[in-house]
Amino acid sequence: MSEDCIFCKIINGDFGTEFVYETENTVVFNDINPKAPIHMLVCPKKHIASLNELEDKNLMAELLQTVKDVTKKIGLKSYKTQINTGKEAGQEVFHLHIHVLGNKK
Ligand code: 5GP
Ligand code: ZN
């Protein structure tokens, strides 16, 4: 856990944020400022600043499997995924996350 990371605090349960889905090493919660009717963030529980710092291939696979499983769980067949990496690409929170955006179930 990184002390000054907002997503670490969310994952730690500090704000009582509801998790849409959770696996051993990943967690999914809704974006606070949704850019689509469904906007979830899929994160590793471990603090990893961005995709550039992700080296664990098993965790890479688990993150994508979580995208598949959470969308299936909520009945979302069609969705977009986005990973912003680096400030210049629009990354604002430096705890790796995959945006999952969808319109309707
Ligand atoms: P980035 O620009 O880093 O790819 O995306 C960060 C996302 O995190 C944004 O879509 C923003 O709305 C979301 N976000 C920032 N702070 C919080 C928060 O405290 N709670 C939740 N649920 N989402 C947040
Ligand atoms: Zn973090």
The verdict on the CB of residue 33 being under 6 Å from ligand 1 is yes
pLDDT confidence of residue 105? 61
Spans of the chain, pLDDT less than 70 = 105
- Confidence (pLDDT) at 2: 76
What pLDDT is attached to residue 104? Answer: 76
- 97 carries an active-site annotation: yes
Q: How far is CA 27 from the centre of its chain?
A: 7
- Which residue lies with its CA nearest to atom 16 of ligand 1? 32
Nearest ligand by distance to the CA of 97: 1
> What HEC string does the chain produce?
CCCCCHHHHHHCCCCCCCCCEECCCEEEEECCCCCCCEEEEEEECCCCCCHHHCCCHHHHHHHHHHHHHHHHHHCCCCCEEECCCCHHHCCCCCCCCEEEEECCC
Output the pLDDT for position 67.
98
In this predicted structure, what is the pLDDT of residue 39?
98
- pTM for the full predicted model: 0.97
Best mutation site among 5, 8, 32 for ligand 1 pocket (most ligand atoms within 8 Å of CB) = 32
